[in-house]
Structure 1
Amino acid sequence: MQEDIVARLNAQDELLRKIYSSSEKTRKYFMWTLIGTAVMFVLPLIGLAFAIPAFLNNYMGALSNF
């Protein structure tokens, strides 16, 4: 009887390790997805911070010539 319980505990321990490994891979995947999404959102905003003033400067310069 004791050996049966030990065998079951060992089997559960092995399954628990596999579940932990899988959940860590999923966590890392979600983390990198979040980082990628944040980068793809922030980089265009930084680009717009430089592009909009340049555009407005050209636009206002063109309007002042009239």
Structure 2
Amino acid sequence: MDQEIQQKFKEQDEKLDRIYISVEKTRKYFLWTLVAMIVAFVLPLIGLAFAIPFFLNSLSSAYGL
């Protein structure tokens, strides 16, 4: 009986190790997905911060405002 319990504990420990590895891979995947989403959102905003004043300046000089 004691050997069975020890064997079950060992099996559960191995399964927990595999689950931990899988969870860490998933966490890293979500982290890099979040980083990519932030970059995809923030970089265009930075570009617009430079582009909008340029276009407004061009429009104001074209229409003499």
TM range (shorter): over 0.9
How many residues matched?
Answer: 65
Q: Normalization by structure 1: what TM-score?
A: 0.95
User: Would you say 1:64 and 2:64 are equivalent positions?
Assistant: yes
Query: Can you give the 5+ residue segments of structure 2 that lack an aligned partner in the other structure?
Result: none
Partner of residue 35, structure 2: 35
Shift of 1:6: 0.5
Query: Can you give the 5+ residue segments of structure 1 that lack an aligned partner in the other structure?
Result: none
CA RMSD in angstroms, aligned pairs only: 1.1
Identity, in percent, stands at: 57
Shift of 1:61: 0.1
Per-residue CA shift, 1:28-56, capped at 9, x if unaligned? 10011001000000000000000000000
Shift of 1:10: 0.2
Which runs of structure 2 are paired with 1:1-66 in the superposition (5 Å)?
1-64=1-64
Q: Normalization by structure 2: what TM-score?
A: 0.96
State the 4+ residue runs in structure 1 displaced beyond 4 angstroms.
Answer: none
